[in-house]
Amino acid sequence: MIEDSFRVHHLVEESARAYPDAIALTDGSGHQVTYAEYKAAITKAAGLLLDRGVQPGDRVAIVAENCITTAVFIFAASTVGAYALPINARMTANEIARVMTHATPRVTVFTTEASKEAAAHAATANADTQETPFGNLAIAVTGASAPEPVEDGANETAVLLYTTGTTGDPKGVMLTHANLRYAGRTSAELRGMRQDDRIYGVLPLTHVFGLASMLMAASGIGATIQLEPRFRPDALYAALMDKATVLPAVPQMHALLMQYAKDQGLTRLESSKLRYVSSGAAPLDPAWKRKAEAFYGLPLQNGYGLTESTAGVCSTRNPIGSPDISAGFALPETEIRLDTSVGADGDPDAGEILTRGPQVMKGYFRNPEETARAIDAEGWLRTGDLGKIDKAGNLHVVGRCKELIIRGGFNVYPPEVEAALNDHPDVIQSAVIGNSVNGDEEILAFVQCADPATLDREALVAFAAERLTGYKRPSRIILTTQLPAAPTGKILKHKLLSVFAEQLAQPAAEE
């Protein structure tokens, strides 16, 4: 039961009382704070906000990459009753401006020491520099918008996260203190996290996965997070050889780590303290899961969630070697059902995933129309994802409603095609989309590999043909060393056509 008066900064206060000398955070700039120092840093940051006129109901933007400053100001906003608005510093100035125009933050914090991009944004914002024990930063008064009406308690908005990868106006997801408390506690319980754990923290705190499943989870139990601003497979490997015990990641990170190890002549992770590893944000395929488990020597747990569900809807609890590639079953207090009237053309067992539970967002900031479309009167959130539920009650995510490809009247789910391509030993990862042509849809596959010059395209086509029926086989395969990706590592499918426009314009034989 969550107390009505709970706010997320109470997580740090509770851990500071219980474990004052335990290391709370380290970061890539060399800073480190104990839980007692963490609490003091949050108090200092709250003072900086109050000095600049921040009131309850105001928004505090944090243009950031992972560092102690980012975490401190997320909790400092909670302390003063404001909404934290984390924004990834690697977004363009125009992208940030769109968010700022909609959210109208009173104050903006820039993590200048941890991010050259944040420093560049700060330089155009008339920001004051601040030297603090937890990292140098810049802070600017960026607006004088009236505060939002506030509620006293756990159902007040704690964090605004703006969804990315859409072509429409930015939508600010309002996550409450209660949402985040539930998500952090449930994540810690699922992973069996302990106070002496060290979480490798490269998932961005500006994204719901890192914010809820990592920051809130660790802060609530007094564990340590090793914050890293950017993913590098060599840095991850070094951390796994050092002190890291918990690794939450996305499939792309696992794939690049295993490729790095392969390049070093290694086939598995040896002498590591790692005891829990998970994968999220994309479906698994059986061969890849077996490969990852053989590499880690641990079960690879999967899950499913989205920003609007505070990262979590369901999760697996499988032993190593389990053939289960589902996203698992519903989290505690969570319901899942399918709307088979959506995306079920030709497949009566598939439908749009709907979920209801204590992690469902409060709504979209200043957007009641979109909120009403997303959440019905009974509290069911429409996820926009297609799924199936097996006889054991496990959810299988088979694609996005808008990503479903209909080719020659047949349904093609991109994850199935991607899984077939990813099985090839020289393929790091792939992304598949549909493209309208001549009244039908062609299947375009974008394949990341170490060296396109040495990957035999025809052999890859034959390899996929052995695993896919005719209508599921890619019409074109584009080879590349890098796919456009978000800071989380998630492939930005909406950018594939523009990024590879030149190659797509060429005849297939000339790619």
Quote the tokens at residue 178.
């209660």
What is the full DSSP assignment across 267-323?
-S--S----EEEE-SS---HHHHHHHHHHHTS-EEEEE--GGGTT-SEE--PPTT--
* pLDDT interval class at 488 (50, 70, 90): confident
Phi, psi of 64 (to 5 degrees): -150, 160
Region 478-483: mean pLDDT is 95
Distance between CA atoms of residues 158 and 155, nearest Å: 9
Higher confidence at residue 336 or residue 126? Answer: 336
Question: Helix H segments across 104-207?
Answer: 116-123, 177-191
- What pLDDT score does 138 carry? 98
Q: What is the pLDDT of residues 203-236, one digit of tens each?
A: 999 999 999 999 999 999 999 999 999 999 999 9
- What pLDDT score does 402 carry? 75
Q: Which CATH class is domain 231-402?
A: alpha beta
* pLDDT interval class at 344 (50, 70, 90): low
Region 86-102: mean pLDDT is 90
| Domain extent listing, the chain | 9-20+32-175, 231-402, 404-510
User: Closest Cα to residue 352, out of 337, 372, 374, 334?
Assistant: 337
Quote the tokens at residue 442.
């062609």
Quote the tokens at residue 290.
């077996």
- What pLDDT score does 167 carry? 39
What DSSP designation does 216 have?
I
User: Closest Cα to residue 63, out of 128, 95, 108, 28?
Assistant: 108
Note the pTM of the prediction, 2 decimals: 0.87
What DSSP designation does 472 have?
G
Contact 46, 79 (CB under 8 A): yes
Q: Which residues contact 38 (CB under 8 A, 6 or more apart)?
A: 12, 15, 16, 24, 25, 71, 72
Contact 417, 474 (CB under 8 A): yes
Contact 450, 439 (CB under 8 A): no
Residue 166 scores a pLDDT above 70 = no
Q: What proportion of the chain, given as a percentage, has pLDDT over 90? A: 75
Instruction: Quickly count: other Cβ atoms within 10 Å of residue 452's Cβ.
Output: 15
Residue with tokens 């209660």, as numbered in its chain? 178
User: Do the two domains 9-20+32-175 and 404-510 of this chain adopt the same fold?
Assistant: no
Distance between CA atoms of residues 74 and 84, nearest Å: 5
User: Closest Cα to residue 65, out of 229, 235, 232?
Assistant: 229
Amino acid at 139: I
Distance between CA atoms of residues 388 and 394, nearest Å: 8
Q: What is the pLDDT of residues 112-124, one digit of tens each?
A: 999 999 999 999 9
Residue 74 scores a pLDDT above 90 = yes
User: Closest Cα to residue 421, out of 450, 460, 449?
Assistant: 460
Distance between CA atoms of residues 79 and 293, nearest Å: 42
Strands 32-34 and 23-26, bridge-based pairing: antiparallel
Distance between CA atoms of residues 511 and 506, nearest Å: 6
Distance between CA atoms of residues 407 and 412, nearest Å: 7
Instruction: Quickly count: other Cβ atoms within 10 Å of residue 331's Cβ.
Output: 26
What DSSP designation does 494 have?
G
Superfamily holding 404-510? ANL, C-terminal domain (3.30.300.30)
Quote the tokens at residue 129.
């520099």
Region 167-171: mean pLDDT is 67
Expressed in percent and rounded to 5, the helix, strand and coil fractions of the chain are 35, 25, 40
Higher confidence at residue 444 or residue 279? Answer: 444
Distance between CA atoms of residues 354 and 364, nearest Å: 17
Cα distances (Å, whole numbers) of residue 156 to 176, 248, 271, 402, 436? 5, 28, 45, 32, 44
What DSSP designation does 477 have?
E
Q: What is the pLDDT of residues 145-156, one digit of tens each?
A: 789 998 778 999
- What pLDDT score does 413 carry? 80
Which CATH code fits 9-20+32-175? 3.40.50.980
Mean of pLDDT over the chain = 92
Quote the tokens at residue 5.
């008066």
Across the chain, how many H-helices and E-strands are there? 16, 26
- What pLDDT score does 405 carry? 86
User: Closest Cα to residue 68, out of 23, 19, 32, 115?
Assistant: 32
Q: What is the pLDDT of residues 419-435, one digit of tens each?
A: 889 999 999 999 999 98
Phi, psi of 372 (to 5 degrees): -65, -30
